[in-house]
Amino acid sequence: MKKISSNRFSILIYSFIIIWVFLASFPFFWTFWGSFKVELDFFSISDWYNAVTGKNTFDTYNSQFTGAGYEGAWVQEEFWRSFVNSAIVCFFVVLTSLTIGTLGAYALSRSNYKYTFWLLITALIFRAMPPITLVAGYLPPFFEWNIWGILPTTIIVLVSINQPFTLWMLHSFFQNIPKELDESAKVDGCSQFQAFRHVIIPVMWPGVVTTGLFSFLLAYNDFAVTAMLLSDENRTMIPKIAAFLGTTYTEGNVMFAVAAVVSATVPLFILVMFFQKKIVSGLTQGAVKG
């Protein structure tokens, strides 16, 4: 009796997951498939079925698939430059965010004075600022100091405006970790920093890696900041992709954008695989006790 119900239960769980995975990934597969078609097929205004069969692609290239979008984006438009820029920005944003964020969040979670609460609340309110307004405010001083348009400026800005999020996220994870852990380390003669470094961080891996993933995604997907603060030769991928889309005056090349989006997801695939391992290994290594 019990066996049957648990079987049913897992069938329920698996079908739930399958539905979710389908919903989550279908648009992506659709895009991946469509990225090898011409625009008229991908957006198939006459009939959506064209996107599946590639009717117009066949008429143009004599084949149902074409790499024209990829060639255009990577070769003609030198998308790799933006790719390198994005890699630099993301790497330094994640590194800096996590370094200063873990220090700050750890302190906030281990201090009981009133000001810690108010600091957290202030950080939260800071986050309420719409980034577009912030960026508009940065422009005059950045031009004044001649630091507009370069990657380091953008990195610092991205780190700063995402700091409230990073702090809160890490703070929530730190709260899950019992205080006794670092207290006992301190009794053993560690300084606060040593306790943090050798006792807390190893346990914190799932939290740190998850936060890192979000810092990464925020930097990677950012448009508001990068579009306004980077000169065109320093553009990261997202503003570059937006530039493929065209404006009122001119035709864009949507298929370049689609191909660029698909190819930009490849490194993310690797990243998430790595991330997933870390998150599970945190479970086995971590000395979490209730």
Partner 1 sequence: MSNKSIFAVLILILAAGGIYYFSQDKIDVAVKGTGECTIDARVSIVGNEFPAIQTVGAGAKECTGAEVKTNLTADHQKINVAGMSNDPAEYTSAIVANTSIVALLNDDLIRPLDDLVKKHGTKLKKNQLITINGKVMAVAFMANAQHLVYRKDVLDKLNISVPKTYEEMLEAAKKIRESGLAKNPIGGAYKAGWNLAQEFNNMFIGYGGKHFKGNSAEPNVNSDAGIKALMMMKSLSDFMNPDFLTHDSNATNAEFRAGNVILMNMWGSRAATLTDADGVSEAVKNGMDIAGPMTVGSGSIPASTLFWDGWTVAKNISDAEAESTFIALMNAIDPSIIKDENIRKQAVWLLDGYTPTDAARGVFAAAEMKTTPYPMLPYAGLMHSAIGAELADFMQGKENAEKTLSDIEDAYRAAAKEKGFL
Partner 2 sequence: MKHKTFFWFILPTFLAMLIFIFLPLISIFLQSIHTPHENVLMTVENCDPFGCKKVTSIDHDAINDLKKTEPLGKFVGLDIYFDRGHLAIENVKMLWKKDNNFFQFIKALSDLPFYKAIFFTLTFTFTVTPIMLVLGFLIALSVNTISKKLRGIIIFFSLLPMIVTPLIGSIILFWMIDSRGIIGNLIQWLLSDPDLSLKASTSLTWIMLIVYGVWHAIPFSFIVFYAGLQTVPKDQLESAKIDGANKFEEVIYIIIPHLMPLITFVALMQLMDNFRVFEPIVGFSAEAHATSLSWIIFNDLGGETRQLSAAATSSILTIIGVIILLSPVLLRTWKDFKFKK
Instruction: Using CB under 8 A, list all residues that contact partner 1.
Output: 38-41, 43, 45-46, 56-57, 59-61, 66, 68, 84, 88, 91-92, 95, 136, 139-140, 143-144, 146, 148-151, 227-228, 231-234, 239, 242-243, 245-252, 255
Instruction: Of 67, 65, 86, 63, give the one whose Cα is nearest residue 75.
Output: 67
Which residues partner with 240 through β-bridges?
A: none
Tokens coding 127: 């986050």
Q: Which is nearer to partner 1, 131 or 252 (CB)?
A: 252
Binding partner of residue 147 among partner 2, partner 1, none, CB under 5 to 8 Å per kind? none
DSSP conformation letters of the chain: -HHHHHHHHHHHHHHHHHHHHHHHHHHHHHHHHHTTS-HHHHS-SS-THHHHH-HHHHHHHSSS---HHHHIIIIIS-HHHHHHHHHHHHHHHHHHHHHHHHHHHHHHHT--SHHHHHHHHHHHHHHTS-HHHHHHHHHHHHHHTT-TBSHHHHHHHHHHHHHHHHHHHHHHHHHTS-THHHHHHHHTT--HHHHIIIIIHHHHHHHHHHHHHHHHHHHHH--HHHHHHB-GGG--HHHHHHHHTB-SSSB--HHHHHHHHHHHHHHHHHHHHHHHHHHHHHHHH-----
CB of 249 to partner 2, least distance (A): 14
Q: Measuring CA to CA, how many Å separate 248 from each of 59, 129, 251, 252?
A: 29, 30, 8, 9
Nearer to partner 2 among residue 234 and residue 244 (C-beta): 244
213 binds, among partner 2, partner 1, none (CB under 5 to 8 A by kind): partner 2
Q: Which is nearer to partner 1, 218 or 255 (CB)?
A: 255
Name the binder of 218 from partner 1, partner 2, none, CB < 5-8 A by kind: none
Smallest distance, Å, CB 148 to partner 2? 14
Between residues 68 and 73, which has the closer beta carbon with respect to partner 1? 68
Q: Considering the complex, what minimum distance in angstroms separates the CB of residue 217 from partner 2?
A: 6
List the single partner that 100 binds among partner 2, partner 1, none, CB under 5 to 8 Å by kind. partner 2
Find the shortest distance in angstroms from Cβ 262 to partner 1: 17
Closest approach of partner 2 to the CB of residue 75, in Å: 20
Q: How far is the CB of 39 from partner 1 (least distance, A)?
A: 6
Q: How far is the CB of 67 from partner 1 (least distance, A)?
A: 12
Q: Return the one option of partner 1, partner 2, none that residue 24 interacts with (CB less than 5 to 8 A, by type).
A: partner 2
CB of 62 or CB of 290, closer to partner 2: 290
Q: Quick one: what does residue 123 bind among partner 1, partner 2, none, with the CB cut-off 5 to 8 Å set by partner type? A: partner 2
